[in-house]
């Protein structure tokens, strides 16, 4: 069906595809066989995650909080965690498996990933401590904010209003300054001063 | 900003000095009473020798431009590895961003990947899964195109109010380069994409992987891989040796160190399109797959890092405009906070999904100004105010803040990031 190919590249071998094709979809496609529970995960988390994410996945300093924040999404400073915000457990499994721990990614075995994720669910009060997460039940586990997302709707909610002919004169009666950046004073000054 | 006395040759020091003497330097230049020794005395560079042609096989900017650099804002992120820095757009002109000061955004650092070690895999719903070496990629027919790359989070710290004081910090998660590479259509046709594949999952070779799902329609329309930017190889920090180019769409999709493209029949809903790069509305629900970067502009000078130091009279007001929906067709400038607008000059006709430079020549008599710019693109979209955006989205959407920016220009020429009613 294509006009032209160039005969460049070579066929990828099954072992090569298996090594790199590791993404996991919400329907569970891509999950390897395995399982783990929160109690096992607590040990993995303590050894490999807690230094940044805290003993209870509550986060240390500026490092991401993985638990908490339930019911905060419509508040002024929402706390977005795996429990309060993420739509799919597959994403958490995939991300931990491919990109965590930070600085030593791709070092966890599948069972460790299942267990770690079970501990994160436990920290979010979403499972009891004897719950076993596995490739069998992961895709059917529904996170609280699974229904919280919708496709980009700017074309219907913004485009008409933002495509009106622009006002050029007498566009408003008065203009007052309502906020100053210098009051916050959080901008780095010269190149040797990067605080606060 | 600090109120510490500032000696030396920084702009602030100069400003303080010139303000105290009523812009004496400008007056002197215009009405010199005594001969200028820079002219009447033979200078060292007019008599001695400069450096040889072997001094800098690959040169850097002259030392007097040492403030034209990327800047980091430490408190924004937990560490400098998964972090952001900012292009010094306040000090640049034209539209091409020098690669050496073009902003960086990494999720697990800038990795070093040689051309020899580089591999690109195409797999999934294709007739033949393929592996390419870097050398293979250079043998495909090439295309060249100039586009802006804007981080989805550019200006994101400004959602709740005026926060960072300088266009580099408020608008500097952007660069604009001329890319050379191969279209995704060419590469995907080589593998034979199957008709049921309506998504393409793309990921990088780094530990973060930065996996994202792109509709196949976009991939086959105008996406490309690039191995050259502004004439030379990509910089390490920009994805050497190969990155993805996704014209008009949020920077996160422009996967660096691209290693794999998988044709699929559904989005992966990866971390970077669920936890991140989703935009939370006031009611707590969130937009996902907000790919396009809407029309936007900013006055780069004068601005907080570029105070007016030359006194009254002719003043060049300049800035950048861009749109992910098409070409910038016009930019209006206001000096009174949006009561009145005047059309600016475009330095060149706007190109699709590329930065456009604008100028507005003003005769400044020391009046306070509330300086704004407003871009219009080829679809008729007019850059909105922050109030307009907040009315739809609230304060928590983090990404996609394309609101009109206001700089308060004071009578002494200093500028501040403000919001106005």
Write the CATH number for B336: 2.60.40.650
Q: What percent of chain B has pLDDT over 70?
A: 93
Residue B208 touches chain A, beta carbons under 8 Å: yes
Please say whether the beta carbons of B111 and B208 come within 8 A.
Answer: no
Are B211 and B314 in a shared domain?
A: no
pLDDT in tens, B333-343: 999 999 999 99
> How many distinct structural domains can be found in chain B?
2
Residue B203 touches chain A, beta carbons under 8 Å: yes
Instruction: Tell me what pLDDT residue A187 has.
Output: 76
Q: How many A-B residue pairs are in contact by the CB < 8 A criterion?
A: 271
Domain for residue B342, yes or no?
yes
Domain for residue B241, yes or no?
yes
Domain for residue B384, yes or no?
yes
Are B107 and B200 in a shared domain?
A: yes
Are B229 and B270 in a shared domain?
A: yes
Mean per-residue pLDDT of chain B: 93
Q: Tokens 């920290």 label which residue?
A: A123
Q: Which two tokens stand for residue B142?
A: 């090439």
Taking the C-alpha atoms of residue A189 and residue B73, their distance in angstroms, rounded to an integer, is 10
Report B:154-173 residues touching A (Cβ under 8 A): 161-166, 169
Partners of B331 in the β-ladder: B375
| Residue B170 CB burial class (10 angstroms; 0-12, 13-18, ≥19) | buried
Q: For the packed helices A110-123 and A89-99, what is the interaxial angle rounded to 10 degrees?
A: 130
Rg (CA), chain A: 24
B117-153 burial code (b ≥16 CB/10 A, e <16): ebbbbbbbbbeebbbbbbebbbebebbebbbbbbbbb
Are B313 and B262 in a shared domain?
A: no
pLDDT band of B14, cuts 50, 70, 90: very low
Residue of higher predicted confidence among B322 and B162: B322
Rg (CA), chain B: 24
Give residues with Cβ within 8 angstroms of B112, minimum separation 6: B236
Q: What percent of chain B has pLDDT over 90?
A: 89
The single-letter DSSP state of residue B336 is: B
The single-letter DSSP state of residue B196 is: T
Are B227 and B365 in a shared domain?
A: no
Domain for residue B80, yes or no?
no
Asked whether the beta carbons of residue A8 and residue B139 sit closer than 8 angstroms, the reply is: yes
Q: Which of B142, B270, B387 to mutate to test the interface with A (most CBs of A within 10 A)?
A: B270
Residue B248: which CATH number? 3.90.420.10
Are B267 and B345 in a shared domain?
A: no
pLDDT band of A165, cuts 50, 70, 90: very high
pLDDT band of B78, cuts 50, 70, 90: confident
pLDDT band of B199, cuts 50, 70, 90: very high
pLDDT in tens, B183-193: 999 999 999 99
Instruction: Tell me what pLDDT residue B12 has.
Output: 45
pLDDT in tens, B336-394: 999 999 999 999 999 999 999 999 999 999 999 999 999 999 999 999 999 999 999 99
> Rounded mean pLDDT of B163-176?
96
Q: Which of A179, A183, A194 to mutate to test the interface with B (most CBs of B within 10 A)?
A: A179
> Which range marks the domain in which residue B114 is found?
99-287
pLDDT in tens, A169-194: 999 999 999 999 877 777 776 443 33
The single-letter DSSP state of residue B408 is: E
Which string of DSSP letters, residue by residue, matches B271-313?
Answer: GGGTTSS-EE-TTS-EEE---BPPPEEEEEESBTTB---S-SE
Are B264 and B313 in a shared domain?
A: no
Domain for residue B372, yes or no?
yes
Taking the C-alpha atoms of residue A80 and residue B276, their distance in angstroms, rounded to an integer, is 10
Last residue of a domain, one of B261, B287, B313: B287
């Amino acid at each position: 069906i294509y006009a032209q190919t160039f005969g460049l590249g070579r066929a990828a071998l099954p072992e090569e595809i298996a090594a790199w094709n590791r993404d996991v979809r919400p329907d569970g496609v891509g999950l390897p066989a395995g399982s783990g529970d929160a109690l096992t995960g607590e040990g993995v988390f303590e050894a490999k995650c807690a230094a940044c994410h805290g003993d209870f996945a509550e986060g240390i300093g500026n490092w991401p909080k993985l638990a908490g924040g339930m019911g905060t999404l419509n508040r002024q400073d929402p706390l977005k965690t795996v429990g309060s915000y993420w739509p799919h457990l597959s994403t958490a499994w995939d991300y931990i498996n491919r990109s965590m721990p930070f600085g030593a990614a791709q070092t966890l075995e599948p069972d460790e990933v299942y267990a770690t994720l079970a501990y994160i669910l436990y920290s979010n009060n979403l499972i009891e401590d004897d719950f076993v997460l596995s490739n069998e039940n992961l895709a059917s586990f529904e996170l609280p904010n699974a229904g919280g997302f919708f496709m980009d709707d700017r074309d219907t909610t913004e485009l008409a209003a933002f495509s009106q002919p622009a006002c050029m004169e007498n566009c408003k009666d008065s203009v007052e300054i309502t906020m100053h950046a210098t009051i916050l004073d959080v901008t780095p000054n010269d190149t040797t001063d990067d605080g606060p | 900003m600090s109120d510490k006395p500032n000696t030396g040759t920084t702009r602030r020091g100069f400003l303080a000095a010139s303000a105290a003497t009523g812009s004496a330097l400008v007056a002197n230049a215009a009405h010199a009473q005594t001969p200028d020794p820079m002219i009447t005395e033979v200078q060292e560079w007019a008599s001695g020798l400069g450096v040889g042609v072997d001094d800098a096989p690959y040169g850097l900017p002259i030392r007097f431009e040492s403030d034209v650099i990327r800047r980091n804002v430490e408190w924004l992120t937990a560490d400098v590895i998964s972090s952001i820095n900012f292009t010094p757009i306040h000090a640049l002109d034209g539209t091409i961003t020098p690669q050496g000061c073009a902003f960086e955004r990494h999720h697990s650092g800038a990795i070093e990947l040689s051309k020899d070690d580089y591999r690109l895999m195409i797999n999934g719903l294709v007739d033949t899964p393929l592996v390419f070496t870097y050398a293979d990629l250079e043998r495909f027919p090439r295309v060249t195109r100039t586009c802006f790359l804007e981080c989805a989070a550019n200006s994101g710290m400004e959602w709740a109010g005026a926060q960072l004081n300088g266009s580099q910090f408020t608008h500097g998660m952007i660069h604009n380069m001329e890319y050379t590479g191969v279209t995704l259509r060419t590469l995907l046709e080589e593998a034979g994409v199957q008709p049921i594949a309506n998504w393409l999952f793309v990921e990088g070779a780094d530990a973060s992987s930065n996996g994202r799902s792109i509709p196949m329609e976009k991939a086959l329309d105008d996406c490309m891989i690039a191995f050259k930017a502004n004439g030379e190889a990509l910089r390490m920090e920009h994805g050497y040796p190969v990155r993805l180019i996704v014209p008009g769409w949020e920077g996160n999709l422009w996967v660096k160190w691209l290693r794999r493209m998988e044709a699929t029949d559904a989005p992966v809903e990866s971390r970077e399109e669920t936890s991140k790069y989703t935009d939370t509305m006031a009611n707590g629900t969130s937009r996902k797959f907000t790919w396009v970067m809407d029309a936007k502009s900013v006055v780069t000078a004068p601005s907080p890092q570029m105070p007016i130091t030359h006194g009254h009279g002719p003043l060049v007001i300049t800035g950048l405009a861009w749109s992910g929906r098409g070409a910038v067709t016009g930019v209006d400038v206001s000096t009174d906070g949006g009561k009145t607008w005047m059309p600016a000059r475009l330095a060149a006709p706007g190109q699709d999904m590329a930065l456009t430079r604008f100028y507005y020549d003003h005769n400044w008599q020391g009046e306070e100004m509330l300086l704004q710019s407003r871009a219009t693109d080829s679809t008729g979209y007019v850059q909105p105010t922050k109030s307009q955006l907040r009315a739809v989205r609230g304060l928590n959407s983090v990404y996609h803040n394309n609101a009109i920016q206001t700089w308060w220009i004071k009578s002494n020429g200093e500028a501040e990031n403000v919001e106005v009613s």
